[in-house]
Amino acid sequence: MHPTPTPCPLGPRSARGVHLTELLVVIAVLAVLLAASWPALQPLLLRQRADALQLTLHASLSGARSEALRRRELIGLCASVDGLRCSDDWSAGWIIYRSGDQRREPESPEAILSNHTGRSDISILARASSGRPRLFFQADGRSPGANLTLRICAGRQLHGKLVVNNGGRTRSERSNRNLPC
């Protein structure tokens, strides 16, 4: 004798999963919510990008000092648009390079230790009382000359500063006030 099949409590075929119509409604609601909140997210995203750039630049400054100590030679760091030569636009990016025995630009592409690109929506302004456009770390880690201040600007407001003192140490500051850049 064969056992009698028991009927399925939910009917012959119960629906499993999500129907296409329900999925489309959820996607439409999420799209409306995202579109409504997007303008409010823009300043937050800009601040996050500025934070990331400031941390990257701080790491580059510390890394250049470490390379000078490790290699026991003069290491340069300067703004660079093309990743090969020094320029005045820190916002476009910067390079770290072996300077040899004199404070000059990199002599060849082989002298460049690292190249970092900037961001078009965040500006970096370099200021030193001596007006020096480049930064050098000596074999003992010092950076002689006047302190160099790199101002990070997000939009038209000051986001933070990086200050390199004569001892070669870098100090990072974040601006919590709405100061113009």
Residue 11: per-residue pLDDT: 53
Render pLDDT for 74-125 as a digit per residue (tens, 0 to 9). 999 999 999 999 988 888 999 999 998 888 889 999 999 999 998 888 888 8
Secondary structure (DSSP) of 23-63: HHHHHHHHHHHHHHHHHHHHHHHHHHHHHHHHHHHHHHHHH
Cα–Cα distance for residue pair 150/153, rounded to 1 Å? 10
Structural contact between residues 72 and 139, judged by C-beta atoms closer than 8 angstroms:
yes
Residue 6: pLDDT band with limits 50, 70, 90: low
Q: What share of the chain has pLDDT > 70, as a percent? A: 88
pTM for the full predicted model: 0.75
Cα–Cα distance for residue pair 24/170, rounded to 1 Å? 52
Structural contact between residues 143 and 136, judged by C-beta atoms closer than 8 angstroms:
yes
Residue 127: pLDDT band with limits 50, 70, 90: confident
Q: Which residue blocks in the chain are alpha helix, DSSP H?
A: 20-71
Cα–Cα distance for residue pair 97/116, rounded to 1 Å? 12
Residue 40: pLDDT band with limits 50, 70, 90: confident
